[in-house]
Amino acid sequence: MNHNQTSKKHDRKQQNHQHQHHNGHNHNGKSGGHSGHGHHSPEMFKNRFFISLILTLPVLYFSPQLQSWLGYEAISFPGAGWISPILGIALYFYGGWPFLKGAWNEFQSRIGMMTLIALAISVAFIYSLAVSLGLEGKPFYWELATLIDIMLLGHWVEMASVQGASKALEELSSLVPNEAHRIRDGEIEDVPVREIETDDLILIRPGEQIPNDGEVVEGNTSVNESFLTGESKPVTKKVGDEVVAGSVNTEGSVKVRVTRVGDDTAISQIMRLVEEAQSSRSRYQALADKVAYWLTIIAISVGTLTFIVWLSLDDLVFAINRAVTVLAVLKQISSPNQAKTRFVSGKQVSILVQPCHKTKRHGCPKSL
C-alpha cells in the first residue's frame, strides 16, 4: 500500500513537471509575446482597469473639450479645476504603472508596445500637468485617461486568455490516471502508468479513465471521448476498436492491448501541441511588435522635428505645444490598432482533434 502511494505521488510529480515550463511561461519580448507583463496576472489588469475607469469618469465630465462637444457645462466650485490634474496623477502612476515598468524592461532588449504606450501617456501626463501649473496650452487629461483604460482592457483580455489556456492544459494532464491494471500470466496487478509498455495487456473497469492508447481485445463497452472529439455521447467500443488515453470507460470491463505509451499517446501529443502554440509567437503578436517599434521611432522623430521647426519659427512654449500635440495625435491613431491586436491575440482557438486510426497510423498527427 505504501509503495502504491509513493508511486502515485511520483507519477503526479512527473505529470506536473511536464507542464512546469508552461505554467511559468512569461509573456515577454524574448519569449514571443509583448514584453513587460510576464509576471502580471489577469486579475491585476482587471482591478486596475475598473479602478482606472472609475477615476476616468470625473475627468471626462470636467473635460473642457467634451463639454464643448456635447454642449453641457460642468458644475463649478472652488478647486474644481484641480480634479482632473489630481486624478490624472493617480491614473498615470496607478493605471499606467504596468506600462512604465514594461517600457523599462524593453529598454534592456528591444522597444515595443510597452515603450510606445509609456511614451504616449508620459508625454500627455507631463505636458498636461505643466499646463495645469501655468504653461500655455490645452491639457490632455481625458485622452490620457481613456488611453490607459483601453490599454488595460486589452492586456486584461489577453492575459485572461493565456491563463485560461494554461488551466485547460492542466486539466488535460489530470485526465491520465496514475495506475493501470496490467494482466500478466492471468494475474491482475496494479502498476504505475510509467511502467506500462507497448503490447502489454491492461484491464479497464467501468468508470475508470484509460491510461494508454490501445486496441480492445476482449469485451464491449462505451467510452466517453468528449475531451478529444467534443462529443458528449459515449462511443461504443468492441473488439478491434481503438481507445485513447484520458477517455472514460462508462460501461463494461474490457481488456486492451497497449499500442502507444508515454509521449506517443494522443493526449500527450495534444498537450505538446498546445504548449508549442503558446510558447511560439503568433503572427499578430509579431506584427504588433514590429508596428509598435516603428510607430515609436516615427513618433519620436516627427515630434522632435516638429519641435525644432516651430522653435525656429516661434517661441519655446508654442513649439512644445505643437510637438506634444503631434505625439498625442500619432498615439491616438495607433491605439485602435493596438487594442485590436490585443483582442485578436487574446481570442480563444478551438481545435478538433480526430482520433488516430488504429490500422493506418502508428501515432497521432505531428501538426494540426
For the chain, what is the mean pLDDT?
77
Domain boundary residue, one of 264, 293, 325: 264
115 and 218 part of one domain? no
Q: What pLDDT band is residue 334 in, cutting at 50, 70 and 90?
A: low
Has residue 13 been placed in a domain? no
Kindly report the backbone phi and psi dihedral angles of residue 209, in degrees, each rounded to the nearest multiple of 5, phi listed first.
Answer: -85, 145
For the segment 338-365, the average pLDDT, to the nearest whole number, is 43
H or E element at residue 181: strand 179-184
Has residue 117 been placed in a domain? yes
326 and 285 part of one domain? yes
For the segment 186-206, the average pLDDT, to the nearest whole number, is 90
41 and 86 part of one domain? yes
Domain boundary residue, one of 264, 297, 328: 264
Q: What pLDDT band is residue 110 in, cutting at 50, 70 and 90?
A: confident
Has residue 102 been placed in a domain? yes
C-alpha cell at 148: 490607459
Please count the structural domains in the chain: 2
59 and 164 part of one domain? yes
39 and 145 part of one domain? yes
119 and 186 part of one domain? no
164 and 62 part of one domain? yes
206 and 152 part of one domain? no
Kindly report the backbone phi and psi dihedral angles of residue 184, in degrees, each rounded to the nearest multiple of 5, phi listed first.
Answer: -135, 125
Has residue 204 been placed in a domain? yes
Q: Give pLDDT tens digits for 34-92.
A: 444 555 688 999 999 999 999 999 999 999 989 999 999 999 999 999 999 999 999 99
Burial environment of residue 79 by CB neighbours within 10 A (0 to 12, 13 to 18, 19 or more): exposed
Residue 142 has pLDDT above 60, yes or no: yes
The Cα 204–Cα 237 span in angstroms is 12
pLDDT of residue 277: 66
279 and 153 part of one domain? yes
Highest-confidence segment of 85-89, 339-343, 349-353: 85-89
Has residue 359 been placed in a domain? no
CB neighbourhood size of 23 (10 A): 12
Domain boundary residue, one of 244, 264, 284: 264
327 and 229 part of one domain? no
285 and 233 part of one domain? no
Has residue 360 been placed in a domain? no
Containing domain of residue 230, as a range?
Answer: 179-264
Whole-angstrom CA distances from 155 to 110, 204, 252, 309 are 19, 45, 49, 37
C-alpha cell at 31: 519569449
CATH no. for residue 193? Answer: 2.70.150.10
pLDDT of residue 71: 93
Has residue 155 been placed in a domain? yes
pLDDT of residue 331: 61
Identify the CA nearest to 115 among candidates 105, 130, 124, 125.
Answer: 105
Q: What pLDDT band is residue 321 in, cutting at 50, 70 and 90?
A: confident
110 and 203 part of one domain? no
